[in-house]
Structure 1
Amino acid sequence: EQKGGPGLSRAAIAEMLLKNFEKLPDSDQKLFSYGPLYLGGNAAFAGLIANSLYRRALNVQAARIASNLPMAVLPFLTATALYNAVVSQPLLSGDLNCPTCSLIRGALVGAVGGGVYPMLLALPLNFGLASRYSTAPMPEKGTILRYCVDVSRPVFKKMRAVFLLQGFFGTYLGSRHFESYAKLAQITFSKEEE
């Protein structure tokens, strides 16, 4: 399934793939275009969950909207951009033609960009709020790392299901995107051979 002849440049391959993108079935086009946004939406939801768990762990009542807004927006933007950068764009440019690689990249973006990152983002945000509003006893100097680990342990346990779901969704999306890419490559390069 390797593309074209040896004389085709990467730019020419990418241009041919993009030109034939409209010839894909409508469902494939929509999934390719909107799939990363769904993954980003799940990441935003994971950010809100992580934020809520840390707020409870640190007894933070103040600044509810001010802390929820970045915890929804930043994971959404990060997961969407990361998925587009490591899965969608390499597929559309012909740089990623390994189904297993597509699955693994999708899973990693889902689990790390959509699960772990929101949790890591929520910790300093809520730690700062707890410190500012004195809602939880703050650690002594030199024990901040131990304190963060202790606060994060129960949050991590509760977030495990979110990490798994995000990983599975990223894997599914990577799989479906590779299937769409395979159809696109077939449309593009069967015409090329004619």
Structure 2
Amino acid sequence: MAVSQTQSGSPLRAASMVQMEDREAPQNIKMAIYTRGRLIPSLGDAKFRKPVITEIIEKKFEYYTKDILDKHGIFYGTTSAMSGVLANIIFRSSFKVQHEALKTFATLATLPFLSTVVTYKLFVTDALNSGNISRENCILRSILIGFICGVSYPSALAFSKNGQLAVKYHTVPLPPKGRVILHWLLLCQTGMKAMAAPLVFQALFGLLHSSHHYAVCERMRAKAGPEDEPKSQ
């Protein structure tokens, strides 16, 4: 009897195990469907994230490109380059130098341009973008940049470059020992007086240019203000 009970019990256990597996099968299927359903949005998110990331990178690149290549700084740098070319012409005539013209003109046009663009961006453009500068301070900074980077630096650079060429090629009498600077200054008196013209021009251009730049930034800030208020609410 015991043997028959165990034999009869084993089919019952097998049947119950099959039923339990059948009952668990839909749950496993549901879990598989659930996990698959959860994976599909993640793949979709990954697909959607790539265009969003590339768009953000493109916007950042465009913003920084516009910030570096600021047209206001480029305009101001162009006037400094013109002042450098004029200073080179004046001091080459004063020192009677005719050698290495291309090299000196390239140097006198490039270095004042780059120095003015970088200085204007650091002290004027960045301050205007942050809003931590007044109109008077903006004008003052712009005029000082014009004096230093647009007139003083090109004049000193042209003076030293052409003075060295004058000594190298003996285009003017050699100065006495210990009086090199004084001798060169006496030779360039007329040229130094002629540099007063670009000095006045840089002052007027800096005044008008900085006023216009400040007004443009104020208009852009006024337009951006109402759009930002609903977002903050």
TM band (smaller chain): 0.7 to 0.9
Identify which of structures 1 and 2 has the higher relative contact order when contacts are C-alpha pairs closer than 8 Å and 6+ apart: 1
Alignment partners' CA distance in 1, 2:73 and 2:100: 30
**SS in structure 1 of the partner of residue 96 of structure 2:** coil
The structure with the largest helix share of the pair is 2
Residue identity matched to 2:198:
V
Which residue, out of 102, 119, 126, partners 1:65?
102
Q: Report the AA paired with residue 214 of structure 2.
A: F
Residue 152 (structure 1) aligned to one of 178, 188, 191: 188
Q: Are 2:128 and 1:77 equivalent residues in the alignment?
A: no
For the residues of structure 1 that align with 2:189 and 2:171, how far apart are their CA atoms?
19
**In structure 1, what is the equivalent of residue 197 of structure 2?**
161
TM (normalized to structure 1)? 0.78
String of CA shifts for 1:15-67, please: whole Å, max 9, x gaps.
xxxx9xx9xxxxxx9xx931211111111111111111111111111111111
2:176 aligned partner: 140
Corresponding residue SS for 1:163: helix
Distance in 2 (alpha carbons) for counterparts of 1:152 and 1:75: 21
CA shift for structure 1 position 104? 0.8
What letter is aligned with 1:110? G
Unaligned runs of 5+ in 1: 1-18, 23-28
Task: State the number of aligned residues.
Answer: 165
Letter aligned with residue 71 of structure 2: Y
Q: Which amino acid aligns with 1:171?
A: L
Q: 1:114: Cα distance to partner? A: 0.9
TM-score, normalization by structure 2:
0.65
Q: Which residue of 2 aligns with 1:176?
A: 212
Residue 54 of structure 1 pairs with residue 91 of structure 2: yes
Q: Aligned residues: percent identity?
A: 27
Maintained 8 Å contact 2:95/2:188: no
Segments of 5+ residues of structure 2 without an aligned counterpart are 1-59
- Find the partner of 1:91 among 120, 124, 128: 128
- Mark the structure with the bigger radius of gyration: 2
Q: Give the drift of 1:141.
A: 1.7
Shift of 1:81: 1.1
In 2, the alpha carbon distance for the partners of 1:54 and 1:81 equals 26
Runs of 4+ displaced beyond 3 Å: 188-194
What does residue 81 of structure 2 align with? 44
Whole-Å Cα distance in 2 between the matches of residues 187 and 120 of structure 1? 44
Deviation, 1:149, is: 2.5
> Letter of the aligned partner of 1:52 in structure 2?
I
* 1:177 to partner: Cα distance: 1.2
What's the Cα RMSD here? 2.0
* 8 Å contact from structure 1 (residues 43, 113) kept in 2: yes
Is the 2:142–2:207 Cα contact (8 Å) retained in structure 1?
yes
User: What SS does structure 1 have at the residue aligned with 2:70?
Assistant: helix
